[in-house]
Structure 1
Amino acid sequence: MDKPNYPMNSILSENVGYVILLGFGSMMAILVTLIVKIETRWNKIRKTFEWFNTAGRSVKTGILASSVVSAWTWAATFLQSSSVTYQYGLGGSYWYAAGASIQIVLFAILAIELKRKSATAHTFTEIINARFGSTAHKIFLFFGFLTNSIITAMLVIGGAAVLNSLTGINIYAAAFLIPVGVVIYTFFGGLRATFIAEYFNSTLIFIVILIFVTTVYFVNGNIGGISGMYEKIVHSAVIKPVAENSGGSYLTLASSGALLFGIINIVGNFGTVFVNQSYYQRAIAARPKSAVKGFLIGGLAWFSIPFTLATTLGLAAIAMGMTFSADQISMGLIAPSVASSLLGNIGAILLLTIIFTAVTSAGSAELTAVSSLFTYDVYRTYLNPSASGRQLVKISRMVILFFGCGMGLLGISIIQFGVSLQFVYLTMGIIIGSAVIPIALTLTWKKTNKIAASSGAIIGLFLGVSMWLYSAYVLFGQVSLSSTSQNIPLLLGNVISISSGGLIVFLGSLINPSNFNFKIMKQKIIVVDERIRAIIERDNDENFLKNAAKFTYRYSIVLSIVLIVVIPIPLYVSGYVFSEMSYRIWIIAGIVWVSVSTVVIIGMPIFEAKSFVKRIILSISNRFLYETRYFDEQNNKKSDNKHSGDLTNLDEYKKILVAVDGSSMSIRALRYVENYFGNLNSKIFIVYVIEWEETDEILDSVIMNKMEIEGKQMLRGILLAKHEDKYQRFVKVGDPASKIHEIAEKTETDIIVMGLKGLGNTYHEMGHVGQKVLNLTSKPVLFLK
């Protein structure tokens, strides 16, 4: 079979394609890996298996929302949305956006229910195994892997097709090389690296969309702004009317073709969210108070991407009189053509770059999802139940490596068969949709019957595929790639798959209901990492989770109804065709929506991480300055009185704070204070800080008391030579440097004394706590070796 290139004049050279493919991919891999290393070092994160696969279960709202946006933004988001807009007008862009955003909004329900009912879970299939046993577990594990494979295929096909069309790069080479950078940073950084990469990707996407919007509506003189585009689209409808649309106009939501696409889109995308481990992984990684807000904000922000971009580029193609073949439309090449026409090479490079980063960041999400499924649900469940954390990390990385290579091979295989991006996108609901409702009810409804759930998924798949193929044969006389790509067979297959699976599990559970107690999940699914377990116990406030669940059900359902019923259905039923004024309002609403989304998605994670970013900047900048404030015990001693040159007037120091952590240097610092300050009229404060991750929530009182008791026992174990009444002991929990600074200010300490290094391993001359103390305090600090 010949190489399936999709002809379109390549406006960029192959060299540009390889620079983006390899150069940009490598740059992203290096940048993300570096940020992960910085974060783990300055936050003193232990790279356990829990951290690798759940990001420490402490992800906040902003980074979760940006992650959701990025993970749900595929090549199809840019390519397919513009194609359906080119075909059906405003109805195409709206139904693409609304039909694929409600799944994220509704998934917020599963996210909060997961926190309520199985907070210790690592995968959704792990919950199914704990509830139903190995048979059901294997069935839904199959659907999980199948979902990740389909999504991966779509990512690779879309990315390779655009690289091929814009640069002429070999489509097979593109498909194979796309995953390279993804594998590198995911291999080293796990889920945390994925979150960071997705933030950069979301940032880039919104910036590029604003560039295209500004160019089309406010810069390009040929289009003539919003009014000029309106006039050109009206003229285009006269020359080439849309048969499925009201009045043949592109400026209407009354489009039977767009509505059919919307229904297929809605049904199919439920499968790619509700049966996709990557979204459960994000819910698991998020803190309970962030999970709901992250998915709701992420879903609404994502809506603005296909809605605004497709409306802009898809309608621009119509206004500019551009024509495309059926193959080019099927492969989603409208958007890159318009981008290159508007901005030349720069436009092509911008669109190519965001498609590439979308493919790689979404690919990273799929890699971590597959890694978790295999490691927890295959390796630890069936092959090595007693595996250590080190072994699990090793297996996870091996899966990332092998599946990463398999991503390219899978994409090459599908391209070789001549299957288009559009075909894969529209058929995925038929294949995985039957598992949607059984999974959702298993995670939320205590009456769900395991036989009904498993049967619903399997029988629904069989009925959906059968209806799809049968209707294609009846309507078009054959079962072929062409006949199965038609709207009616696709619609029937998608609807039958999801509805039959849901009907079977619901009726079966009513006839023979279970009465499952979700509280036993805590005993069945164990978190070995003590620190992570403490975080889960701290966050698992039942009253908060119950109220959050009520809020989520209410707003998720209302938002979904507004998006797919309240707004579009009256416009469809009435056959309304937009006037110039209503069209202007529609476009401005999209611009405002994407602008607000840009501010939120880019700004919120930075705001939430401001203290961490400030700490790193200050620490790095102070690294070159701390030596001027460094006192070495040997250099500061005077031969006649053992006192340092700067400490000869010891009477000036009435209050001395000495920080101890049990290390030899900190004990030496305490002895130094005893010897040099013990006989003076001074008050000595001994501070021991139990290091704990900084959060904006109060620690659980039981955990806090336990820690403080252990800390006091440690301090009591340190013998003080004399003058017991001169000493006051403090035990605190939190960031050591911050607590030392806080107590120094509170007690009006005159000088801080501490060891040059603590218990933490460091290759630098000074420990990280000491460096942070120097950043925070203006008081003199004495370090001792």
Structure 2
Amino acid sequence: MTSLQLNVAGEELVPQATAYGLLVGLGAAFCGVILVALKIQKAYLSEDSGTSEMFMVANRTVGTGLTSSAVFSSWMWINETVFAAAMCYRYGISIPMLWAAGLCFQIALMAALGVLAKIRVPYAHTSLEIIRMRYGNIGHGVFIVLNLTNNVFGCASMILTGSQLIYGISGMHFAAATVLIPIGVVCYTAVGGLKATFLTDYLHTAIALILIMYFTLSVLTNDAVGGLGGLYDKVMANAAVNIVPGNYEGSVLTFKSKNAIIWALILKFGNLALVVMDTAFWQKSFATEINATVPGYNLAALAIFGVPWGLGSVIGMAARALHTTPIWPTYPNPLTLAQINAGFVMPYTVKALIGDQGIVAFFVLLFMALTSTVSSSMIAVSSILSFDVYKTYINPKASDKTLVRVSHLTVIIHGCFITGVALALNYGGANMTWIGYFRPILACPGIIPLALTLLWSGQTRLAAIVSPVLGFFTGLAIWLSTSKSLYGEINLTTTGMGVPALYGAIGSFFSPALYSVLISQYKPYKFDWRIFLRIELADEAQLARSSSIQPNHPPSDATSTSSDAEKPGSDPTKDVPTNDDSRVTPIAHDPVRGKSVQEKNPGIFFTNSDTSASSIPLDEIQHPFSEAELKKLHWWHRVAWAWFVFIVLVTFVAWPMPLYRNYIFSKSFFSGWVTVAIIWQFFAFFAVVLYPLYDGRFEIEKGVRGVYRAIQAYTGKSKK
């Protein structure tokens, strides 16, 4: 027996040596795979992570399949696997489905916002870049704090939870686990940037889904469970010891559960903040091709549904069926609430039914879920610190090479920082439940003001700056005052109760919308969306000033002829760059963007002395996309909003509400319910594992051909 920092007793299900070996070995293996993949990309696919565009937004060339896999992996946190089962055990059969419903609509919303960002801010790198362009440095600073807080708090809480789980099942000290979890991720993310996280996200996704299906089917078909019918019979036979307060007739097989609904609503608010306020999800949308954002994100939204629903239902109900039998690891002692909240339900069930090999597989699944979260957070925070802080305020003239070097450094700094935060939370006595209740209050205030930045031209600078701050204090005041009113005092226990946290999350989320509308009535104005196009102009002006960037070829004829036509009799040599900073520097043709702004707007020139693009009249700026591309993007925008509304109506209204009644699942209904959930897992595997291979088949073939030829050439030289 080992004692966790939170006084939670855990059974040592796997030796410490095995735990250390798995953490170190898996981290090293992923580093090796990614380094090899990056070499192949650079050598045979012309993808170099040594440029900021590639490091931050993967050259904006990621297709539908890899997008769906990456978004799925970034959103497949430890919550959807381990804690869906734990909360199903605690509250009943409704939790896994409600949990799944609380995961998909945020991704559908991000698809709509992402494609709108492509239309209005086609070459942004981070969501904060959009904020600064519209609201200036003060607004930029406010949202930097909100985004960093959301990323750091979310990522550190996952590391905290993972380290406690590893400690509980292996005896490894949680401080050692806290350090080892992110160290491998730091290595490959620092080297490879966003494209590296896309590749590792795919590997995470493939391995994790295979293990999820393995656990689901192995547990269900085990002789001690006896299939769907046997599982139902055993849960019903244990009904007398499986009473859940607040459920209809105390049953774990009813959808009518007050506590489950409260938990699910808090989860929805918290998850919405984790997506919209996480620059990683914005970056992935910026990194996609024009036709990949909406289908890629919505494929992930559908696929993620099957993880908590199928796995949580089977593991949670199997634990309810077996926790009073001799095969249970803690028998004859029952599971305590602290053990449930620590996530021990799934590893105990796996140990009881699958044995030692199951625990090793569980350890691998845990690693996949943790590192996918950490890698996504690292590249997001790295982009904020390098692009939104360093380049904006410290070194505006930073070259592309310098920016990538700073990005590498900030990945390492962030890895060290979140490790420290996770350790502080652990020693401070935090647990996953309390963190899950507090996070929406902290992160939700910026959601609506950020969305309105792209959706409403009437939101003023003052409203965008003040409304999130007021929203946070509103939610905090509601949370604490409700805790005091209902329970008589304010402490970790009372603030960790469901009702105060729900009221606080509602206030924190909705109040900024009211504040924004009211404040915007003071000195109202209408924002011109064309101003966002200056982000691309600023990028190209930076390229013009950067001595490290050389044109790929001379400026197009259109540029020179237009320049000559506008200045009859002028000396064409005046447009040739010299050492004089006042001279014009040609802009390179970008193979990813196509024509540069200067080529598309022949009347616009950048000089080496330019510091901004704000002086260029808006009427002279053309959108970088063609009319056909814009028409396609607007069509995708309408599709994305229609799909978002459909998902919300189905998962919030049409599906759960008819089930919230005085009804206990019958055997046939339970069997059909779990069967559909398992089929959904196989659909997820097809959507985010098999389809990306098909979608990227030409790049894979090209890379394999290049490696094969390189091996042939090497072996030929060796023979000679």
TM range (shorter): 0.7 to 0.9
Can you list the C-alpha shifts for 1:463-504, whole angstroms capped at 9, x where unaligned? 111111111112112111111100111111111110111221
* Residue 440 of structure 2 corresponds to residue 429 of structure 1: yes
Q: Does 1:531 align with 2:591?
A: yes
1:652-701 CA deviation, whole Å, 9 max, x = no partner? xxxxxxxxxxxxxxxxxxxxxxxxxxxxxxxxxxxxxxxxxxxxxxxxxx
Q: 1:200 aligns with which of 195, 200, 203?
A: 203
Contact 1:527-1:533 at 8 Å conserved across structures: no
SS in 2 for 1:482: helix
Matched, 1:110 2:197: no
Give the conservation status (yes or no) of the 8 Å contact 2:483–2:494: yes
Q: Is 1:558 paired with 2:569? A: no
Kindly indicate whether the alpha-carbon contact (under 8 Å) linking 2:45 and 2:703 is maintained by their aligned counterparts in 1. Answer: no
1:258 alignment partner in structure 2:
260
Decide which of 411, 419, 433 is 1:400's aligned counterpart: 411
Partner in structure 2 of residue 634 of structure 1: none
- Secondary structure of the structure 2 residue equivalent to 1:324: coil
Partners of 1:6 and 1:161 within 8 A in 2: no
Query: Counterpart of 1:502?
Result: 513
Matches within 5 A, 1:409-420: 409-420=420-431
Kindly state the Cα deviation for residue 509 of structure 1 after the two structures are TM-superposed. 3.6
- Structure 2, unpaired ranges of 5+: 325-333, 544-589, 597-623
1:610 to 694, 697, 712: 697
Distance 1:469 1:48, change over 3 A: same
- Whole-Å Cα distance in 1 between the matches of residues 190 and 666 of structure 2? 53
Alpha-carbon distance between aligned partners in 2 of 1:589 and 1:624, rounded to the nearest angstrom: 47
Give the C-alpha shift of residue 611 in structure 1. Answer: 1.6
Equivalent of residue 310 in structure 1, options 300, 309, 312: 312
Deviation sequence 1:381-438 (CA, Å, 0-9, x none): 1111111111111111110011111121111100001101221122100111111111
Counterparts of 1:549 and 1:584, CA distance in 2: 39
Corresponding position: 1:142 with 2:145: yes
Of 608, 630, 634, the match for 1:542: 630
1:191 counterpart (190, 194, 215): 194
- Give the distance between the partners of 2:641 and 2:315, measured in 1 at CA: 35
Shift of 1:348: 1.2
Query: 1 CA distance for matches of 2:595 and 2:97?
Result: 41
| Alignment check: 8 A CA contact 1:467 1:496 kept | yes
Q: Give the number of the structure with larger relative contact order, counting CA–CA contacts within 8 Å between residues 6 or more apart.
A: 2
TM-aligned CA deviation for residue 626 of structure 1: 6.3
Greater shift in the superposed pair: 542-551 or 95-104: 95-104
After the TM superposition, which residues 766-781 of structure 1 pair with which residues of structure 2 at under 5 Å, given as runs? none
Select the residue among 576, 589, 611 that pairs with 2:676. 589
Correspondent of 1:338 among 331, 346, 349: 349
Is 1:158 paired with 2:161?
yes
Q: Distance in 1 between matches of 2:703 and 2:534?
A: 39
CA contact (8 A) 2:71 2:297 kept: yes
Equivalent in 680, 687, 698 of residue 600 of structure 1? 687
Aligned to 2:554: none
Q: 1:464 aligns with which of 475, 488, 491?
A: 475
TM-score (norm 2): 0.84
The match for 1:268 among 262, 266, 270 is: 270
CA distance in 2, matches of 1:512, 1:550: 32
CA contact under 8 A between 2:114 and 2:282: conserved in structure 1?
A: yes
Which residue is equivalent to 2:65? 62
Q: Distance in 2 between matches of 1:558 and 1:325?
A: 40
Deviations 1:638-660 (A, max 9, x none): xxxxxxxxxxxxxxxxxxxxxxx
1:471-510 matches, cutoff 5 A: 471-509=482-520
| Residue 316 of structure 1, CA deviation | 0.9
Matched residue, 2:338 = 327
Counterpart AA for 2:704: I
Match 2:51 to one of 48, 51, 74: 48
Letter in 2 for 1:608: D
Between 1:477-486 and 1:233-242, the stretch displaced more is 233-242
Post-superposition offset of 1:2: 9.0
Partners of 2:80 and 2:156 in 1: how far apart?
Answer: 14
- Give the drift of 1:66: 0.8
Report deviation, 1:183.
Answer: 0.5
Alpha-carbon distance in 2 for matches of 1:510, 1:553: 27
May I ask how many residue pairs the two structures share in their alignment?
A: 629
Q: Structure 1 residue 209 and structure 2 residue 219: aligned?
A: no
| 1:4 Cα deviation from its structure 2 partner | 4.5
**Cα distance, 1:445 vs. partner?**
1.6
CA contact (8 A) 2:242 2:252 kept: no
- Matching of residue 366 in structure 1 with residue 377 in structure 2: yes
Maintained 8 Å contact 1:162/1:352: no
* Matched residue type, 1:228: G
> What's the offset of the Cα at 1:45?
2.4
Relative distance call for 1:287 and 1:325 in structure 2 (3 A) is: same
In structure 1, the residue matched to 2:331 is none
17, 21, 28: which is aligned to 2:23? 21
Q: SS of 1:85's equivalent?
A: helix
Amino acid at match of 1:196: L
- Answer yes or no: is the 8 Å Cα contact 2:31–2:188 preserved in 1: yes
Q: 1:578 to 1:511 in 2, by over 3 A?
A: farther
Deviation at 1:101, TM superposition (A): 2.0
Instruction: Give the match for residue 233 of structure 2.
Output: 231
Q: Aligned partner of 1:355: which letter?
A: L
1:295 Cα deviation (Å)?
0.9
Q: Is the 2:44–2:706 contact (alpha carbons within 8 Å) kept by the matching residues of 1?
A: no
Distance in 1, matches of 2:271 and 2:702, equals: 41
Q: CA RMSD in A?
A: 2.0
CA distance in 2, matches of 1:283, 1:624: 36
The alignment-based identity, stated in percent, is 28
CA distance in 1: counterparts of 2:233 and 2:226, whole angstroms: 9
Letter of the 1:132 counterpart: Y
Q: 2: CA distance between counterparts of 1:473 and 1:327?
A: 23
Deviations 1:352-389 (A, max 9, x none): 11111211121011000001111111111111111111
The structure-2 alpha-carbon separation of the partners of 1:555 and 1:627, relative to structure 1 and needing over 3 Å to count, comes to closer
List per-residue Cα deviations over 1:287-317 (Å, max 9, x = no partner).
1210011111111111111111111111111
2:224/2:353 contact within 8 Å kept: no
* Match in the other structure for 1:651: none
For residues 549-573 of structure 1, the C-alpha deviation after alignment (integer angstroms, 9 at most, x for no partner) is: 111111111112101111001111x
1:129 match: 132
CA distance in 2, matches of 1:390, 1:53: 13
| Conserved? CA contact 2:45–2:702, under 8 Å | no
1:178 partner SS: helix
Deviations 1:263-288 (A, max 9, x none): 11111111111111110010111112
CA distance in 2, matches of 1:481, 1:456: 28
Shift of 1:83: 1.6
* Structure-2 separation of matches of 1:566 and 1:285: 34
Give, in whole Å, the separation in 2 of the partners of 1:560 and 1:351: 32
The alpha-carbon deviation at position 188 of structure 1 amounts to: 0.6
State the 1:513 CA deviation. Answer: 4.1
Say which of 299, 303, 321 aligns to 1:301: 303
The 1:534/1:575 distance shift into structure 2, 3 A limit, reads: farther
- Residue type matched to 1:252 in 2? T
The equivalent residue for 2:395 is: 384
| Deviation for aligned residue 1:511 | 6.4
